[in-house]
Amino acid sequence: MIPLVLIRHGPTEWNAAGRIQGHTDVPLSDAGRRTVRTWCLPTEITEAAGDWDWLTSPLARTRETAEILLPAAARNVLCPEPALVEMHWGVWEGHSLAEMRRIDGPGTAEAEARGLDFCPPGGESPRQVQARLAPLLAALAVRRRPVVAITHKGVIRAVLARAASWDMTGRAPAKLQDGCAQRFALDDGGALRIEHLNIPLYQAGMAP
């Protein structure tokens, strides 16, 4: 099995305001940069940095997070990967969920109840996110090198749903926490398994 470690980017001003970001290219906030500077990758990764592949979503908030968090040697081989971009939220981007529920209460509730097939107008569904991730996961399985990827909550939830056979209705198999690494494993065919969720990245004595 091949290790796949997924990390969500640091905080942005839109995160603080509860606004949906999706494909909107929002950078880290000053507070977000300070937060990421308190993070530290697990020792097994930092001690063997050259043995891991390093990927990031092309959006600024993930690239900034990677530039702060990753070892200097890894930054030289950091590869932007389009498949890791956040789920597209269409016309919902820039709004909060609370705003959308006020604007279109019944329609919003119906959309959210669709689970993997939830799709904001003009956006994409978690199932579509899984579909665009599938070729990447298959390619990583063929390369047989452990991977660290800096990405987004929607992407990590899509991976969790695939690994746990969760249709995104009802209770989630786990609550994904910020400031943590989510470790999965890939088999030779690109199938996913959960290994260890919510591995804290905060250095001792620096948790918020």
Which one of the listed residues 9, 64, 93, 152 is annotated catalytic? 9
CATH class of this structure's domain 2-200: alpha beta
* Confidence band of 197 (pLDDT split at 50, 70, 90): very high
What is the reported pTM? 0.92
| Res 165 pLDDT > 90 | yes
Q: Which residue has the higher pLDDT, 102 or 118?
A: 118
For 32-125, where are the E strands, in sequence order?
A: 53-56, 79-80
pLDDT in tens, 31-60: 999 999 999 998 888 877 778 999 999 999
| Res 109 pLDDT > 80 | no
Which of 66-75, 129-138, 150-159, 180-189 is predicted least confidently?
66-75
| Res 93 pLDDT > 60 | yes
Percent of the chain predicted with pLDDT > 70: 96
Q: Which residues of 136-145 are buried (b: 16+ CB within 10 A; e: fewer)?
A: bbeebbeeee
Cβ–Cβ < 8 Å for 192, 163: yes
Residue range 14-42: mean pLDDT, rounded: 96
Is 192 in a helix, a strand, or coil? Answer: strand
* Confidence band of 158 (pLDDT split at 50, 70, 90): very high
pLDDT of residue 74: 74
Is 37 in a helix, a strand, or coil? Answer: coil
Say whether 152 is catalytic.
no
Which one of the listed residues 81, 86, 93, 124 is annotated catalytic? 86
Q: Enumerate residues 6+ apart whose C-beta is below 8 A from 86.
A: 21, 22, 23, 57, 59, 151, 152, 153, 154, 155
The neighbour count for residue 25, using CB atoms within 10 Å, is: 13
Say whether 124 is catalytic.
no
Residue range 88-98: mean pLDDT, rounded: 92
Average pLDDT, the chain: 91
For the chain, the structural domain boundaries read 2-200
pLDDT in tens, 168-189: 998 899 999 999 999 999 998 8
| Res 208 pLDDT > 60 | no
pLDDT of residue 72: 74
The sign one gets for the Cα dihedral 123, 128, 129, 133 is negative
CA-CA distances (angstroms) from residue 179 to 6, 20, 154, 169, 198? 11, 19, 15, 25, 8
pLDDT of residue 207: 45
